[in-house]
């Protein structure tokens, strides 16, 4: 759906983006990952023409973005800023209504949509008349998201949307983010320098360094088939956690013991990743959990020990490492 080809952007002496090409499919969530200053924001801003590339082309649905007025282009693309960028002189309602007003929606429609979004983002109506400085960082972040989503744009650009939050709030918002139906159908390009976040939220990850994409692929591609030392080093610190996130129970299926007793509790889908399953043990009072593999139509009941054993068996069979 979005296709970027040979993008180059220099600021004076620094080449911020150095010949980048990528494609994002409809409904996909691509994460641009990399250390500070590697050109993530610059790449993102070229997609809605906040920055014009020196060379290269960008098309959305086959249309060159330069064919449109930048204002019109931007009204059709949701944008969440690195540090939320809410308008301090507007109330929450006015902040969220900016794009509908620019698109000249009628007042009633705008209002209904704003209230609908607030509900989805678990914010009370009381906040409609509040000003951004009266909100917590997490609430501001949600308003920023609502503002980007309000006109239901097919494409959403997010620049470190959860960067300014503490870890607890962040993982809570991550959960909500994944659960939000509004986002399911959208094509999302998200920037982060947080590896965890990239693995948790990205369908694919583009790992960037010094203005170039070093490797682009699914989380497990990056984790288990790194193309060079840079990629594996980049993921090294949090390797185990990332593997827990990248590996799903389906990957371990053959190593998990069959049969077992069926507990009365509802079962986990086998697409669940190891990390989430481990978290499940934390909240699950019983010793074991049931997992349902829908395609194979198999139900397995596993304990914590069995899960860990399966995980290490799976690991030893991996080609690299």
Partner 1 sequence: MNEHQQTLFEFMRQQSDKLAVQTLQHIGLTFISLFIAVLIGLPLGIYITRKKQISGFVLGVAGVLQTIPSIALLGFMIPVLGIGAKPAIVALLLYALLPIIRNTFTGITGVDESVKEAAFAMGMSRWQVLFKVELPLAMPVILAGIRTATVINVGVATLASYIAAGGLGEFIFGGISLNNTNMILAGAIPAALLAIIFDFLLSRVQRLNFKKVRKVVIAAPVIIILLSTLYFIPSAYGSKLTAGFTPEFMGRQDGNLGLQSKYGLKIHTIVINDAVMYKAAQEKQLDVISGYSTDGRLKAFDLVVLNDDKKIFPPYYAAPIVREDALKKFPLLEKTLNLLAGTITDSVMTALNYKIDYLHQTPERVAKDFLTENNLWKPAKNGHDGTVRIGSKIFGEQYILASMYMMLIKGYTNYDVATKTGLGGTKICFDALTNNQIDLYPEYTGTGLLAILQPSAATINTLHGDKDSTYNYVKNEFKKRYDIKWLQPIGFNNAYALMMRQQQAKKLNIKTISDLKRYLESK
Rounded to 5 degrees, what are φ and ψ at 22? -160, 165
> CB–CB of 83/158 below 8 Å?
no
Q: Which one of partner 1, ligand ATP, Mg ion, none is in contact with 11 (Cβ closer than 5 to 8 A by kind)?
A: ligand ATP
From the CB of 89, what's the least distance to partner 1, in Å? 4
From the CB of 228, what's the least distance to partner 1, in Å? 35
**Residue 244 to residue 273: CA distance in whole angstroms:** 7
For residue 217, count CB atoms less than 10 angstroms from its CB and return exposed for 0-12, middle for 13-18, buried for 19 or more: middle
Residue with smaller CB distance to partner 1, 135 or 256: 135
Q: Which one of ligand ATP, Mg ion, partner 1, none is in contact with 235 (Cβ closer than 5 to 8 A by kind)?
A: none
Residue with smaller CB distance to ligand ATP, 42 or 97: 42
Residue with smaller CB distance to partner 1, 101 or 236: 101
> Looking at the DSSP assignment, which residues form a beta bridge with residue 15?
10
From the CB of 130, what's the least distance to ligand ATP, in Å? 28
For residue 57, CA distances in Å to 22, 29, 44, 78, 189 come to: 11, 21, 13, 20, 17
Residue with smaller CB distance to ligand ATP, 12 or 62: 12
CA-closest candidate to residue 138, choices 116, 160, 170, 114? 170
Tokens of 146: 């609502």
Interaction pattern, residues 169-208, with ligand ATP; x per rule: CB under 6 A = ------------------------x---------------
Residue with smaller CB distance to ligand ATP, 39 or 78: 39
Q: What is the DSSP secondary structure assignment for residue 256, as one 8-state letter? A: S
Interaction pattern, residues 41-80, with Mg ion; x per rule: CB under 5 A = x---------------------------------------
Which residues form the interface with partner 1 (CB under 8 A)?
A: 48, 50, 71-75, 79, 81-90, 98-99, 102, 131, 147
Residue for token pair 């952007």 = 9
**Residue 67 to residue 49: CA distance in whole angstroms:** 11
Residue with smaller CB distance to partner 1, 74 or 248: 74
Q: Is residue 14 a contact residue for ligand ATP (CB under 6 A)? A: yes
Q: Is residue 297 a contact residue for ligand ATP (CB under 6 A)? A: no
Residue with smaller CB distance to ligand ATP, 16 or 148: 16
* Order of strands, sheet of 63-64, starting from the edge strand that comes earlier in the sequence: 14-24, 2-11, 55-60, 63-64
With a CB cutoff of 8 Å and minimum separation 6, the contacts of 72 are none
Give the three-class secondary structure for 13.
coil
Q: Is residue 192 a contact residue for Mg ion (CB under 5 A)? A: no
| Residues of span 31-70 touching ligand ATP by CB under 6 A | 34, 36-42
Which single residue brings its beta carbon nearest to Mg ion?
Answer: 41
Q: Which long-range contacts (CB under 8 A, 24 or more apart) does 83-87 make?
A: 83/163, 83/164, 84/132, 84/140, 84/141, 84/143, 84/144, 84/164, 85/144, 86/132, 86/140, 86/143, 86/144, 86/147, 87/132
Count of chain residues binding Mg ion (CB under 5 A): 1
Q: Which residues bind Mg ion (CB under 5 A)?
A: 41
Q: Which residues bind ligand ATP (CB under 6 A)?
A: 11, 14, 16, 34, 36-42, 193
């Amino acid at each position: 759906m979005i296709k970027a080809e040979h993008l180059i952007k220099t600021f004076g002496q620094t080449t911020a983006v150095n010949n980048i090409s990528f494609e994002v499919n409809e409904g996909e969530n691509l994460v641009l990952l990399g250390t500070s200053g590697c050109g993530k924001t610059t790449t993102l801003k070229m997609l809605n023409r906040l920055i014009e590339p020196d060379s290269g082309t960008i098309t959305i649905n086959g249309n060159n973005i330069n064919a449109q007025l930048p204002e019109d282009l931007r009204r059709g693309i949701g944008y969440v800023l690195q540090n939320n960028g809410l308008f301090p002189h507007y109330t929450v309602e006015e902040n969220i209504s900016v794009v509908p007003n620019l698109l000249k929606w009628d007042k009633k429609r705008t209002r209904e949509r704003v209230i609908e979004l607030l509900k989805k983002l678990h914010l009370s109506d009381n906040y409609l008349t509040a000003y951004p400085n009266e909100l917590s960082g997490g609430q501001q972040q949600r308003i920023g998201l609502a503002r980007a989503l309000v006109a239901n744009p097919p494409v959403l650009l997010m620049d470190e949307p959860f960067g300014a939050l503490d870890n607890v709030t962040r993982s809570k918002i991550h959960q909500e983010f994944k659960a939000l139906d509004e986002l399911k159908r959208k094509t999302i390009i998200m920037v982060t320098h947080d590896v965890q976040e990239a693995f948790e939220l990205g369908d694919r990850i583009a790992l960037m360094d010094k203005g170039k994409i070093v490797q682009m692929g699914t989380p497990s591609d990056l984790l288990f088939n790194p193309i060079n030392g840079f990629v594996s080093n980049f993921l090294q610190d949090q390797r185990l956690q990332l593997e827990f996130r990248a590996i799903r129970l389906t990957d371990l299926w053959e190593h998990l013991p069959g049969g077992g007793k069926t507990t009365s509790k509802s079962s986990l889908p086998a697409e669940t990743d190891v990390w989430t399953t481990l978290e499940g043990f934390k909240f699950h009072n019983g010793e074991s959990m049931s997992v349902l593999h829908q395609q194979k139509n198999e139900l397995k009941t596993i304990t914590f020990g069995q899960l860990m054993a399966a995980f290490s068996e799976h690991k030893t069979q991996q080609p690299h490492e």
